[in-house]
Amino acid sequence: MRRGQLSDYFDGIVVKRLTLVETVTEKSNQHEFQGTKYLRQLFGDEDRRQIPSRFIRIADGEEAVSEKGFMSWSNVRKGKPRAPEYHLYYSGNSVTEAMQIGDILFLAQERSGNLLAVIAPGESTIVNQLHWLFGVDDLLCTTITYKEIEGGNSNELNFTARYILDELGIELPEPEAELLDRLVERFGLVFPKTRVFSDLARASLPEVSAHDNPDQALVAWMDREEQMFRQLERRIVAKRINDGFNSNGHADVDGFIAFSLSVQNRRKARVGHALENHLEAIFKAHSIRYARGAQTENRNKPDFLFPGQDEYRNFAYPAADLTMLGAKSTVKDRWRQVLSEADRIETKHLLTLEPAISENQTNEMQARLLQLVVPTPLHQTYKENQRAWILGLEDFIDLAADRQSNAFRHGWRMPPHPIIR
């Protein structure tokens, strides 16, 4: 079923690198974005006052900050014989006050006419992701550009696009709502264990083969489980809101805050478990021996250890035939945690679903002997030189299988039960 396109939600976008006069500093307090030629392509020639706007600042490794405000587009020489002079003013807020020279502004006009202004540091992962999402080339050679967003040139709202929009706090309606309701109705208004949810997500996609295409399977299963979870979550949260937050006849503010935090924390914790569940199913489909959550040095527990804990602890077993895989849906700055999880293994592997990670981060990963594994449907979001280095999931499976076979060829006997829990 069609998941929609970006053009269903946005008309156009201006992307620009911010200059000194556009930021709020001691040397500039104009509260104005420049670039009349490109802004006129986005707004047209008619004045527009007090346009409802949402300002977001997001940087690698930090939580996004969001503020509501407005912008005004006007010709200050309207009615005068001189050439028109347009200005785009913005309301001051915590996001605009944090803007710095060289930050990248993504100014998108929604179909409703409202505006979305996302500001992020240049050369960051989120900038790469937004360049890919909106189909705009990076700003290596220019400081500003405009792009009309229309059906023929806009991204489909697939797993990757929805991931990026979710990072900005934009939740899109689910076109398969009726199907998802049928899938989750057995749970009532209670969250099941993640493993149960993961099993159901896979069972609902019988045409997906982990053996034939593990990369596609992982993305499809994660996408389906995310859809199912959000659909059930909406029903549970709606009921809790309808029940109200009251205590002895007074508004229960603490109860509301605690419930809101529990929703956010559940989202973050669940997706990590789901990723491991689906990877486990894929390794089983390929008859790869592994241990999930095995303990290594200093009580570290890599997500997956190949072929298992017993081999890792046996120093007669060749270290070259050992492999570890960390699994993180988003990398951010947490990838360094993987480096200390298995001392016997020189090059660690880390699988992520995060698109378009910055070159600065992937270069550092290479220098620290961390090999990134990304499902192949997400490779298109990376730059060409990064794609030459990144492994797909099937590549990793081949590597682990080859090392397993190599140990067998050298006389290592495998225990009768291949899965160590």
pLDDT tens digit string along 99-131?
999 999 999 999 999 999 999 998 889 999 999
CATH top-level class for 291-410?
alpha beta
Domain locations in the chain?
6-168, 176-274, 291-410
pLDDT tens digit string along 189-212?
888 899 999 999 999 999 999 999
Q: What does the pLDDT read at residue 26?
A: 59
For tokens 């160590």, name the residue.
420
Beta strand residue intervals within 60-171, DSSP E: 65-75, 86-90, 104-110, 115-120, 144-148
Mean pLDDT, the chain, rounded, equals 88
Q: By CB neighbour count within 10 A (0-12 exposed, 13-18 middle, 19+ buried), where does 378 fall?
A: buried
DSSP sequence for 149-207: --GGGS-B--HHHHHHHHHTT-PPP-TTHHHHHHHHGGGTTSPPPHHHHHHHHHHT-TT
Amino acid sitting at position 418: P
Cα of first residue to Cα of last residue in the chain, in angstroms, is 38
Structure tokens at 284: 């089983």
Q: In this structure, what are the phi and psi dihedrals at residue 179, rounded to the nearest 5 degrees?
A: -60, -45
Instruction: Write the CATH number of the domain with boundaries 6-168.
Output: 2.40.330
Q: What does the pLDDT read at residue 374?
A: 98
Taking the C-alpha atoms of residue 122 and residue 289, their distance in angstroms, rounded to an integer, is 42
| Least confident window among 17-26, 101-110, 255-264, 409-418 | 409-418
Q: At what angle do helices 393-409 and 253-285 cross, to 10 degrees?
A: 50
pLDDT at 417 over 50: no
- Residue 67: C-alpha distances to residues 2, 32, 93, 293 (Å): 32, 17, 7, 40
Q: What is the mean pLDDT of residues 242-256?
A: 80
Question: Is the model more confident about 92 or about 282?
Answer: 282
Q: What does the pLDDT read at residue 411?
A: 63
pLDDT at 419 over 60: no
Identify the CA nearest to 417 among candidates 334, 313, 308: 308
pLDDT at 421 over 70: no
Are residues 289 and 398 in contact, defined by beta-carbon separation less than 8 angstroms? no
